[in-house]
Structure 1
Amino acid sequence: MRTAEIHYGDNGHVDLAVPKGTKLEDITKLQSMVIKQINPRGCQACLSGVHFNIREKLEEVIKVDLDKMAVIKDVAAHR
């Protein structure tokens, strides 16, 4: 299953992380779906200021335990 990560910040920015090789057509559909979730009744003028940051997901991810400042080993081992 291919998944996208969507984060909406207090600053009104939407961050989309999509899998490598995602087609622009799919990103456009995703943007439309996200806008409807953020503001279902918004007009184009209201939504024109929504900033989208689109990037491909990083394939090699390391998770860190912030309290211990240490790499979480079981996640790093799956790289």
Structure 2
Amino acid sequence: MRTAEVHYGTDGHVDLAVPKGTKMADIARLQELVISKINPRGCQACLSGVHFNIREQLEHVVKVDLDKMAPIKETAIGR
């Protein structure tokens, strides 16, 4: 299963992280889906200020325990 990560901030920015090799047509459909969830009744002028940052997902992700300042063992590099 291919998945995308969608992060929406209060500043109106949407970050989309898609798997490597995702086609632009799929990204356009994903953008439409995200916009419909953010503002389902918004007119084009209302949605013109939404910024999309699109990137490929990172392969090696390290999660860090901030209290201990140490990598969490289940992550890719922490294994």
Distance in 1 (CA, whole Å) between partners of 2:10 and 2:54 is 17
Query: Structure 2, unaligned stretches of length 5 or more?
Result: none
Q: Percent identical across equivalent pairs?
A: 75
Equivalent residue number for residue 3 of structure 1 = 3
TM-score (norm 2): 0.94
Equivalent residue number for residue 66 of structure 1 = 66
After TM superposition, what 4+ stretches of structure 1 lie above 6 angstroms from structure 2? none
Q: Aligned with 1:73: secondary structure?
A: coil
**Aligned partner letter, 1:61:** V
The equivalences for 1:49-60 within 5 A come to 49-60=49-60
Query: Structure 1, unaligned stretches of length 5 or more?
Result: none
Which of the two has greater helix per residue?
Answer: 1
State the 1:67 CA deviation: 1.1
Q: Deviations over 1:8-39 (max 9, x none)?
A: 00100000000011000000000000000000
State the 1:74 CA deviation: 2.1
Paired residues in the alignment total 77
